C-alpha cells in the first residue's frame, strides 16, 4: 500500500522547523519527504490541506486496561486508592477482560495522537492480541511480581521480533511491592539478557521513607546497589530524587518518565523536571492509567509538564515548548526502544499524526510548535497513522471492529468488577 500525504506542513521533530511539502508512505515506512512528490503512483492520496504532519506521541507510562476504573476511585490518597478500590476490583478479572479493556484504551490513544504506549499491566498475551488486532503499537512491561522468571525470559525472547507491533521489556511494579529476592532475580535476568529494567520509583514521600527504613537507602540508591540499572531502563513518576539518585540515573542513561496529571490528582507530588533537565537526564511523558488521571490525553500532560515547572521555579522561561514536545515524541520513542519511530525521516516507521490547523485553537498560526503544546487538545488530532495504516481520521475509527461493541463489552466487564 502506497499512501501520499500531500500539501502538508511537516514537523519532523529533528528540530523545530516546519516546512511545506509531501510525505509518501510505502507499506509501513516513510519513503519520501520533500517539497513535491513526483514518483510512483500512490494507491491513496490524502490532501493534508496545509495541516501539520508530525511523529505520533509516545505514552511512556500507561496501564491501558485500567479504563475500567475511570472515575470509580476518585478523590482518594494513593494508598487508599490502591487498596480499597483498585486491588479489589482487579482481583475479579476473568480471562478475556484485559483483552477487551485494552481495546477501549487504544481507542482513546488514537484520539490523542498516541501511536505507542509503554503498557504496564497483567495478562500480557491479551494485551498483545488486542494491540495486534487494533493495529496499535504496544511496548509491554513485565508487571506481575509473582510470575516465574522463566516466563519473563520466554516472553522477552518470543515477543521481541523484528517489525512486530508489540515488544516486551523487563520490570517490576515498585520496590515497595516487590520482595528483595524477586528484585535480585529480575536483575540477574536483565544481566543475562543485557536488558534494561523499568519500575515505579520516587512516586511519593511515603514510598521513599519506607525504603530508607527497610534498607537504610533511598529507592534508586538501593536498586543501584543490586545492579538494577546496569543495562539502563528508568523510572515512572520520579517525583522525589536526591542529587545522588539523579547522578545514578545519569550514569546509567536511565529515563525519567513524568506523569503530571496522575501525580496532581493523587497529590503525590510534582517532579522537579527542570532540575533533572539541567542535570542532563532524558525526560519522557506518560499518562499513567485512566483510573488515576482520568484521561489518556497527551495534550494535558504536555501543558502541565511545562507550566508546573514554570510556576515551581518562578521562571516562565524554563521548560521550553519544543523541549516538551520532544519529550512527548522523540524521548518517549527512545524510552520505549522505538528508535525507528522517533522522527519523520525516510526509512523510519510511518507512525504519523496530523494536527488540524483549522481548529480555532490553532489559529492564528503564529508558532506551530507552541500552539500544539500550549493551545492544543485532542480535538486538534485529525489523523492517527500507525505502521502505515490510518486508524483514526476526522473523528472516525478504522480498527476493524464496531466501536459500540468495544464500549458495550468494557461496560459489561466494569459492572461485574464493581460488584
Q: Would you give the end-to-end CA distance of the chain in angstroms?
A: 47
Please state the pTM of the whole predicted model: 0.96
Q: 81 pLDDT band (50/70/90 cuts)? A: confident
Examine the fold and report which residue of 316, 336, 356 is the final residue of a domain before the chain moves on.
336
- Measured CA to CA in angstroms, residue 300 lies from 31, 111, 230, 372, 386 at distances of 32, 13, 33, 11, 22
Task: Say if residues 61 and 286 touch (Cβ distance below 8 Å).
Answer: yes
Q: Which helix (H) or strand (E) holds 391?
A: strand 389-393
Distance in angstroms (rounded) separating the CA atoms of residues 404 and 383? 20
Task: Say if residues 399 and 391 touch (Cβ distance below 8 Å).
Answer: yes
Q: What is the mean pLDDT of the chain?
A: 96
Amino acid 180: pLDDT:
95
Q: Are 91 and 135 contained in the same domain? A: yes
Distance in angstroms (rounded) separating the CA atoms of residues 177 and 180? 10
Grid coordinates of 1: 500500500
Nearest to 155 by CA among 187, 125, 127, 133: 125
Does residue 6 lie within any of the structural domains? Answer: yes
Q: Are 308 and 186 contained in the same domain? A: yes
Q: Which residue has the cell 460488584?
A: 419
Q: 76 pLDDT band (50/70/90 cuts)? A: confident
Q: Are 116 and 171 contained in the same domain? A: yes
Examine the fold and report which residue of 283, 301, 336 is the final residue of a domain before the chain moves on.
336
What range does the domain containing 366 cover?
2-55+348-397
Examine the fold and report which residue of 284, 313, 336 is the final residue of a domain before the chain moves on.
336
pLDDT tens digits for 130-139? 999 999 999 9
β-strand pairing of 381-386 with 352-355: antiparallel
Question: What proportion of the chain, given as a percentage, has pLDDT over 70?
Answer: 100
Does residue 214 lie within any of the structural domains? Answer: yes
Q: 296 pLDDT band (50/70/90 cuts)? A: very high
Instruction: List beta partners, residue 167.
Output: 139
Distance in angstroms (rounded) separating the CA atoms of residues 188 and 128? 25
Amino acid 404: pLDDT:
97
Q: Are 288 and 312 contained in the same domain? A: yes
DSSP 126-156: HHHHHHHHHT-EEEEE---TTS-HHHHHHHH
Q: Are 315 and 182 contained in the same domain? A: yes
Q: Are 259 and 181 contained in the same domain? A: yes
Domain count, the chain: 2
Residue 157 has phi, psi (to 5 degrees) of -80, -25
Amino acid 84: pLDDT:
86
CATH (domain of 107):
3.20.20.140
Secondary structure E strands in 96-225: 114-120, 137-141, 166-174, 197-201
Q: Are 41 and 112 contained in the same domain? A: no
Q: Are 44 and 133 contained in the same domain? A: no
Q: Are 8 and 98 contained in the same domain? A: no
Tell me, rounded to whole angstroms, the distance of Cα 75 from its chain centroid: 24
pLDDT tens digits for 5-27? 999 999 999 999 999 999 999 99
Instruction: List beta partners, residue 354.
Output: 53, 383
Q: 287 pLDDT band (50/70/90 cuts)? A: very high
Give the strands of the sheet with 255-258, arranged side by side. Answer: 57-62, 114-120, 137-141, 166-174, 197-201, 233-237, 255-258, 282-285
Nearest to 372 by CA among 332, 340, 328, 309: 328
Distance in angstroms (rounded) separating the CA atoms of residues 202 and 268? 10
pLDDT tens digits for 237-248? 999 999 999 999
Tell me, rounded to whole angstroms, the distance of Cα 52 from its chain centroid: 21
Amino acid 73: pLDDT:
78
- Measured CA to CA in angstroms, residue 235 lies from 7, 23, 266 at distances of 40, 35, 18
Does residue 403 lie within any of the structural domains? Answer: no
Alpha helices in 313-402 (DSSP H): 321-326, 332-335, 368-374
Distance in angstroms (rounded) separating the CA atoms of residues 145 and 172? 6
Q: Which residue has the cell 479489589?
A: 88
pLDDT tens digits for 161-180? 999 999 999 999 999 999 99
Amino acid 80: pLDDT:
84
Contacts with 8 (C-beta within 8 Å, 6 or more apart), sequence order: 20, 21, 22, 23, 48, 50, 51, 52, 53, 354
CATH (domain of 366):
2.30.40.10
Q: 226 pLDDT band (50/70/90 cuts)? A: very high
Task: Say if residues 24 and 9 touch (Cβ distance below 8 Å).
Answer: no
Does residue 418 lie within any of the structural domains? Answer: no
Q: Are 257 and 375 contained in the same domain? A: no
Does residue 342 lie within any of the structural domains? Answer: no
pLDDT tens digits for 305-332? 999 999 999 999 999 999 999 999 999 9
Whether pLDDT at 144 is above 80 = no
Q: Which helix (H) or strand (E) holds 55?
A: strand 52-55
Amino acid at each position: 500500500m502506497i499512501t501520499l500525504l500531500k500539501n502538508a506542513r511537516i514537523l519532523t521533530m529533528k528540530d523545530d522547523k516546519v516546512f511545506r511539502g509531501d510525505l509518501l508512505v510505502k507499506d509501513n515506512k516513510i519513503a519520501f519527504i520533500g517539497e513535491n512528490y513526483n514518483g510512483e503512483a500512490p494507491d491513496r492520496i490524502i490532501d493534508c490541506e496545509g495541516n501539520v504532519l508530525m511523529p505520533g506521541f509516545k505514552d511512556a507510562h500507561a496501564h491501558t486496561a485500567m479504563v475500567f476504573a475511570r472515575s470509580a476511585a476518585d478523590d482518594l490518597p494513593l494508598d487508599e486508592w490502591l487498596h480499597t478500590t483498585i486491588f479489589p476490583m482487579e482481583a475479579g478479572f476473568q480471562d478475556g477482560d484485559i483483552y477487551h479493556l485494552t481495546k477501549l484504551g487504544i481507542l482513546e490513544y488514537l484520539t490523542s495522537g498516541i501511536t505507542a504506549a509503554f503498557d504496564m499491566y497483567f495478562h500480557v498475551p491479551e494485551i498483545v492480541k488486542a494491540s495486534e488486532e487494533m493495529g496499535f503499537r504496544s511496548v509491554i512491561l513485565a508487571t506481575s511480581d509473582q510470575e516465574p522468571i522463566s516466563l519473563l525470559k520466554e516472553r522477552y525472547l518470543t515477543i521481541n521480533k523484528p517489525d512486530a507491533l508489540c515488544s516486551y521489556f523487563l520490570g517490576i511494579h515498585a520496590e515497595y511491592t516487590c520482595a528483595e529476592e524477586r528484585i535480585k532475580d529480575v536483575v540477574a535476568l536483565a544481566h543475562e539478557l543485557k536488558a534494561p529494567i523499568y519500575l515505579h520509583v520516587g512516586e511519593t514521600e511515603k514510598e521513599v521513607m519506607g525504603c530508607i527504613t527497610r534498607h537504610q537507602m533511598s529507592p534508586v540508591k538501593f536498586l543501584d546497589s543490586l545492579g538494577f540499572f546496569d543495562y539502563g531502563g528508568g523510572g515512572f513518576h520520579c517525583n522525589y530524587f536526591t542529587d545522588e539518585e539523579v547522578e545514578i540515573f545519569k550514569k546509567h542513561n536511565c529515563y525519567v518518565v513524568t506523569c503530571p496529571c496522575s501525580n496532581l490528582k493523587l497529590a503525590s507530588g510534582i517532579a522537579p523536571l527542570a532540575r533533572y533537565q539541567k542535570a542532563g537526564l532524558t525526560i519522557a511523558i506518560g499518562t499513567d492509567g485512566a483510573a488515576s488521571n482520568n484521561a489518556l490525553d497527551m495534550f494535558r500532560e504536555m501543558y502541565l509538564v511545562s507550566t508546573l515547572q514554570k510556576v515551581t521555579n518562578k521562571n516562565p522561561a524554563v521548560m521550553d515548548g519544543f523541549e516538551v514536545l520532544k519529550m512527548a515524541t522523540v524521548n518517549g520513542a527512545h524510552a520505549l526502544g522505538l528508535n525507528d519511530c522517533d522522527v519523520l525521516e525516510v526509512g523510519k516507521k510511518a507512525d504519523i499524526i496530523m494536527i488540524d490547523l483549522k481548529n480555532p485553537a490553532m489559529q492564528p498560526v503564529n508558532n506551530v510548535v507552541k500552539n500544539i503544546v500550549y493551545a492544543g487538545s485532542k480535538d486538534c488530532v485529525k489523523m492517527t497513522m500507525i505502521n502505515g495504516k490510518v486508524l483514526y481520521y476526522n473523528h472516525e475509527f478504522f480498527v476493524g471492529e464496531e466501536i459500540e461493541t468495544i464500549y458495550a463489552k468494557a461496560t459489561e466487564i466494569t459492572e461485574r468488577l464493581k460488584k
